Amino acid sequence: MHSLRNYALITGGYWAFTLTDGAIRMLVVLYFHQLGYSPLAIASLFVFYEFFGIVTNLIGGWLGARFGLNTTMLSGMALQIFALLMLTVPIEYLSIAFVMVAQALSGIAKDLNKMSAKASIKYFVPSQTNGSNTLFKWIAILTGSKNTLKGIGFFLGGLLLANYGFKGALYILAGGLFIIFCLMYLLLPRDLGKTKNKAKFSQLFSNTAAINWLSAARFFLFGSRDVWFVVGLPIYLVTQLGWQFDQVGGFFALWIIGYGLVQVASPSLLRQQHSPDGRTTRNLALSLMLLPLAIAAALYYGFNANSVIIIGLSLFAIVFALNSAVHSYLIVEWSDHDKVAMNVGFYYMANAGGRLIGTLLSGLLFQYYGLYGCLIASSLFIMSAALLSQKLPHSRQEAQ
């Protein structure tokens, strides 16, 4: 019962943070496009967001093991509130460099929060007590619900921008998150996730082959999404298909919500005789690889662009969500209790690295080659993830 209460607290805090994370991303993309920024300039605004995510995940796992996951989660919330308020300065101060710094703080905040939430599940659901399928279910619920809330955050960002303007939206988001921060500070256990033996800084990098291969596959998997999803697609919808800002925000919201719901349902959708393993993620990556190419081909041969984007993205969401859910389960399942925070941090460092490269390429490729270039790059990234997944073990015993 005590574990269930802690799980609910962590999940609730993660949900609240995720709403602001999705909203601020949509706010920044749409508002700075409105100000006349080029696609590459908009992509550059997120460079520090992703770069510092790499650093934060690496160090954050060590901090969580040494000082407690409650400390890293609350620190992430405080940084996000500060980053939101930074962007409320007068418009003449919103230079690219200033916004990049604000996004850097937001990236640090997001990854501290995510690492804390994901790693904490290992302490609530021992995989050998109730079985690995139970662990997969709990992780799928946390991961899927987070993405559903992020989708709502995209919609919220577009809605707040349309109704309250950029500055008003930021004040609303910062105020709401501050209330949640106060509740979490009062209710969250002080020693959550703190290891008995002080974690050494030299243990930051994983020395387990399975974790390293999984992290490498994660790098390319999430790079494959962001290479067309972060900058290229939103601007394509506005400039080529004539969508309004609130329509773009609503569409991305529905996509992420659906993506999250598929993740929640992934234990049921992936019914098989054994728990998910390296073979599962490899097969899902091979299926996913063909979808960006199919979307590009359909657009090239003149099919209705709106239908192609909606149908293609829906299929991409289903397969990508299943693969992501399996990845999120495997990193926790294959980690020992004393190393889970650091392994999860190392793994999401690779995730942030893939997103950084994907974000940069999204702006660069769209500016010079349009959405076709972004989609082809996405397929190549997924092929790399599938090849790396060939090295993944087929059981927990092999992963040790």
CATH number reported for the structural domain that contains residue 247 in this entry: 1.20.1250.20
What band does 129 get if pLDDT is binned at 50, 70 and 90?
Answer: very low
pLDDT reported for residue 203:
54
How many domains does one find in the chain?
Answer: 1
Q: Is residue 177 situated within a structural domain?
A: yes
Q: Is residue 264 situated within a structural domain?
A: yes
Q: Is residue 198 situated within a structural domain?
A: no
Round to whole Å and give the CA distance between 247 and 233.
13
Q: Is residue 200 situated within a structural domain?
A: no
pLDDT of residue 228 exceeding 80? yes
CA-based end-to-end distance of the chain: 31
Helix 340-389 × helix 96-124 angle, to 10°: 100
Q: What is the mean pLDDT of residues 141-154?
A: 80
pLDDT reported for residue 306:
93
Q: Is residue 313 situated within a structural domain?
A: yes
pLDDT reported for residue 196:
55
**What letters, b where the CB count within 10 A reaches 16 and e where it falls short, cover 301-310?**
eeeeeeebbe
pLDDT reported for residue 130:
45
Round to whole Å and give the CA distance between 375 and 181.
39
pLDDT reported for residue 85:
94
> Which one-letter DSSP state was computed for residue 337?
G
Do the beta carbons of residue 227 and residue 365 sit within 8 Å? yes
What band does 299 get if pLDDT is binned at 50, 70 and 90?
Answer: very high
pLDDT reported for residue 193:
53
Do the beta carbons of residue 47 and residue 70 sit within 8 Å? no
pLDDT of residue 131 exceeding 50? no
Q: What is the mean pLDDT of residues 125-141?
A: 65
Q: Is residue 307 situated within a structural domain?
A: yes
**What letters, b where the CB count within 10 A reaches 16 and e where it falls short, cover 126-135?**
ebeeeebeeb
What band does 153 get if pLDDT is binned at 50, 70 and 90?
Answer: confident
Nearest to 355 by CA among 114, 171, 117: 114
Q: What is the mean pLDDT of residues 194-208?
A: 56
Report CA-CA distances (Å) from 308 to 167, 300, 304, 315.
35, 11, 6, 11
Residue with the two structure tokens 């942030």: 352
pLDDT reported for residue 400:
54
The lowest-confidence range among 68-72, 153-157, 206-210 is 206-210
Q: What is the mean pLDDT of residues 76-83?
A: 93
pLDDT digits (tens, 9 = 90+) for 18-37: 889 888 888 888 888 788 88
Domain that holds residue 269: 2-189+206-399
pLDDT reported for residue 192:
63
pLDDT reported for residue 337:
58
Q: What is the mean pLDDT of residues 196-223?
A: 74
